[in-house]
Amino acid sequence: MMSSITGALVGWVPPTRARYETILKLWQIIMPSFASIQWLTKWNGMGKTSQPSMFNLPGRWAWFFMEIPGFLTVLYCMRTLPAQLGLIALPWQNKLLGGLYVLHYLYRAVAFPFLQPSINNMHILNASSALMFQITNGVCLGSWLGGYGPVTQTQWAGHVSATQFVGGVVIFGLGLAGNYFHDEHLRDIRRRARARQAKTADGEKKAKRTYEIPQAGLFKYVFYPHYLCEWVEWFGFWMACGWGCAPARAFLVNEIVSMLPRAVNGKAWYRDYFGEEKTKGRKAVLPGIL
């Protein structure tokens, strides 16, 4: 069984150079087109807008299994591709960037779903779409870091300056910290709701209907600062990889086109739930803009 699976992956994960270029081109075209469908509907089968369905999956485990293949794919490509290309070792820059990617997903894929006080059930369409996103993105980035990008110090020196590299890493770190901070504020709101539930005889019913408008940090200006901070992360990652790194650029673009419609629809949800008076002046994701 395992040998047949491994055999099917040969030439695809990691891909040959020709297949890598094909996958990357398609990734830059198909994903933005697919994600743009979200502008045509307010439906979203996860989070606050999750609805009962026979196609729902347990939210916590759906999140874990849809997110974790991304960094595992990157690690696998970085582990196996160099030997296929005859490389003895990868430069420290490749390893550091791969480490940053893994660091983000150790939080987002492994820790996040189990830190959440609760996660609503998730529709299988959301989970399967996210799974394909993670695998495809992991193949593109893992292949670039594993041998199809710079693989010597000389190549790195000609690809991106030390100042830009360090600046990108710093921006990534700031985005990651902001992401965690705003996620933790949302978790704190849910913890307070659960505490109220424990003190209320019919609390289960009330807790499910209790929401607050977040107030900490950038929540004062936008409803989805955790989205914005994640974009800052991957902008910093792209900056450190070099502006010519197509997989890092595609990752950032695909994140934005996937998450922006959800943020705009989410702002509309807050307005409908709390009213125009309590939500006016606050944007969806970009302070003062959108």
DSSP letters of 239-265? HHH-TT-HHHHHHHHHHHHHHHHHHHH
pLDDT number for residue 8: 56
Which tens digit of pLDDT belongs to each residue from 147-182? 999 999 999 999 999 999 999 999 999 999 999 999
Residues 6+ apart with CB under 8 A from 7: none
Model pTM score: 0.91
pLDDT number for residue 209: 52
Residue 183 half-sphere exposure, CB side, CA atoms within 13 Å? 21
The rounded mean pLDDT for the chain is: 91
Q: What is the mean pLDDT of residues 125-135?
A: 96
pLDDT number for residue 207: 45
Which tens digit of pLDDT belongs to each residue from 221-250? 999 999 999 999 999 999 999 999 999 999
Residue type (1 letter), 53: S
Q: 178 with 232: CB under 8 angstroms?
A: yes
pLDDT band at 41 (very low <50, low <70, confident <90, very high): confident
Nearest partner of 239 among 139, 152, 290, 171, judged by Cα: 171
